[in-house]
Structure 1
Amino acid sequence: MISDEKKDPPEKYEILHGLKSLLSDAPMIEIAVFDEDLAENVFQSWLKRDHRCLTSLQMNWLQPKLQSRTVYTGLFTTESEPTPLFLSLIYDMTLTWHSYDENSDEAFLNIKTTNDAIDYLYSQLSKKHNEVFFKRAMAYLQQGGGLTEIELEDMLSADNRVLQAIFVHYLPPVNIFRIPSTLWIRIRNEMQKYFVEKDVDNASVIYL
């Protein structure tokens, strides 16, 4: 899912062009910014699909985020929200909520833009999966322009900062000095919908 917020000329990043080259055989559908009614209908359809419901208090937390709005992000830049990606990110955040939750997360309430939502998601996953490990894994995927899982684990296993963050209380035998594969698998399972996977030379390559 690509969020085109119209704040930069398309040629600046060429994200869409790159994806069209990468996924030449995949259908692509352009989705404009949601208006308030459509955003709420989509959100409710996701709740129904997953057999979930939120309390009225929790819906009050969400309501401002479903409203169509223009957010000023700089002196001459604006973002139109909610974008499809923004809505998807917000929904994923509610998956950890419980019916008895009555105290809102201040950081969540302060989310106004898609970039805010991505930062919040990264912050939450960093706390859950080890900050150094998570951020380095995401950085390698972004800078590598697509990696297989073995390549990613090789890079993380050769990163001294990652090793020091993971092996705090003990060091593994020298001949198997690698990160446990389960660490990456947990992150992959939580972020799978935000990855693009493509077979290249009979190997599955992950793009972020």
Structure 2
Amino acid sequence: MRTRYEESEFIQVKPLGQEVGLSVIMKWLQLHKRAITSPQTELVKTALEHCSLPLYARIICDQIHRWKSFDLPDKLLIESTIQGAINKHFEMMEIKLGKHIVKHSLSYLTSVRYGISEVEMEHVLSLDDVLLNEVYEYWKPPIRRIPPLLWSRVRSEISNYIVERSADDLQVLHWYHRQFIETARQRYLTPDENFTVHIHKTLSDFFSGVWGGGKLKPFQYTAAQK
């Protein structure tokens, strides 16, 4: 990227430092009418000694926001790196929303080069038979599509880390920082080549118009659904 722009056009994002980082986090919590205990505050201060970049502070703030006053510090964990903090956020999403919808949604968001619109994401998820068989594991839906609420909940959990931008006259979504792309790729795509092929093929089928326009995609019910 530096070959395309002048050096003077770049601004280096420096660490906030422990004191400023803690002040920023406390202000965010205050805006959301949240507070943490003194022992929990010490845990945050220790984490900021390892990393106090603005992105890191933003991510751990979202995690701290979920803490309860009765949560003891020895039961809480703050990762010491940005990648670790992002992985922790993804893990918490999987626990809250379900691993399959999170894994597939974030894999599609990570795999598209220029972004994907809300409607496109719902269509792509609805073409994903692996995901649909997990969502409708024990029953046959009247319409075989992903429930819109599932994607909406995933989007809500990552709303602080995605941006909307224009592409081909559409408003599309994409990660706003490359750290999320790299972490999601390493967590979901790199370890499983077959899954990666599945994600890319589903995207290819959708954007090339293999299904649609009156042409229905065939599928088979699982044994539990029959």
SS at the partner of 2:151?
A: helix
What's the TM-score, normalizing by structure 1? Answer: 0.74
Q: Percent identity?
A: 28
The residue that corresponds to 2:153 in the other structure is: 186
Say which of 154, 166, 169 aligns to 2:123: 154
2:191 is aligned to none
Instruction: Kindly provide the amino acid, as one letter, of the partner of residue 196 in structure 1.
Output: V
2:96 to 117, 128, 133: 128
- RMSD of aligned Cα (Å): 2.4
Do residues 61 (structure 1) and 72 (structure 2) align?
no
Matched letter for residue 17 of structure 2: D
Q: In structure 2, what residue type is equivalent to 1:92?
A: D
SS for the counterpart of 2:68 is: coil
Q: Of residues 198, 201, 205 in structure 1, which corresponds to 2:165? A: 198
CA deviation digits over 1:48-76, x for unaligned, max 9? 22232111121122121122x4xxxxxxx
Q: Can you give the 5+ residue segments of structure 2 that lack an aligned partner in the other structure?
A: 176-226
| Partner Cα separation in structure 2 for residue 103 and residue 83 of structure 1 | 22
Matched residues in 2 for 1:132 and 1:47: separation?
30
Structure 1 unmatched runs, 5+: 1-9, 21-27, 70-80
- Amino acid corresponding to residue 171 of structure 1 in structure 2: K
TM-score, normalisation: structure 2: 0.68
Counterparts in 2 of 1:108-123, with a 5 A limit?
Answer: 108-109=77-78, 111-123=79-91
Match of 2:67 in 1: 97
Helix, strand or coil for the counterpart of 1:97?
A: coil
- The Cα shift of 1:202 comes to 4.6
Change beyond 3 A, Cα 1:103–1:165: farther
Q: Which residue is equivalent to 2:224?
A: none
1:76 aligned partner: none
1:42 aligns with 2:8: no
Partners of 2:124 and 2:131 in 1: CA distance: 10
Answer whether contact 2:40 2:73 (CA < 8 A) is retained: no
Instruction: Work out which of the residue numbers 127, 134, 149 in structure 2 matches 1:165.
Output: 134
Tell whether the 8 Å contact from 2:55 to 2:82 is kept in structure 1 after alignment.
yes
Contact 2:39 2:73 in 1 (8 A): no
- Per the alignment, do residues 205 and 131 of structure 1 end up closer, same or farther by CA in structure 2, a change over 3 Å counting? same
1:114 Cα deviation (Å)?
0.2
Structure 1 runs (4+) greater than 6 angstroms displaced: none
1:78 is aligned to: none
